[in-house]
Amino acid sequence: MAKTPRKLKKARARHAKSCEGKQAHKSKKEAEEVARKMRAERGRRNLSAYACQSCGKWHLGNRR
């Protein structure tokens, strides 16, 4: 089960691609502002801003 490094590589590529369709914010402040609104309006309590490794911008995602 642990001998699947190629699968990992594939998963990473998919992640980088998926970030294209996501809303990107140019700063943490901006992303957190949107996250705060969504938490208040939609009850998305797990929503948090994170710096994207692929595009260098900020996205909103579920905290783990």
Residue ranges binding Zn ion (CB under 5 A): 19, 52, 54-55
DSSP state of 20: G
How near is the Cβ of 61 to Zn ion at its closest, in Å?
10
**Rounded CA separation 58/2 (Å):** 31
CB closer to Zn ion, 4 vs 51 = 51
Q: Sign (positive/negative) of CA torsion 39, 53, 55, 27?
A: positive
- Give the nearer residue to Zn ion in terms of CB position, either 10 or 15: 15
CB-nearer residue toward Zn ion: 4 or 53: 53
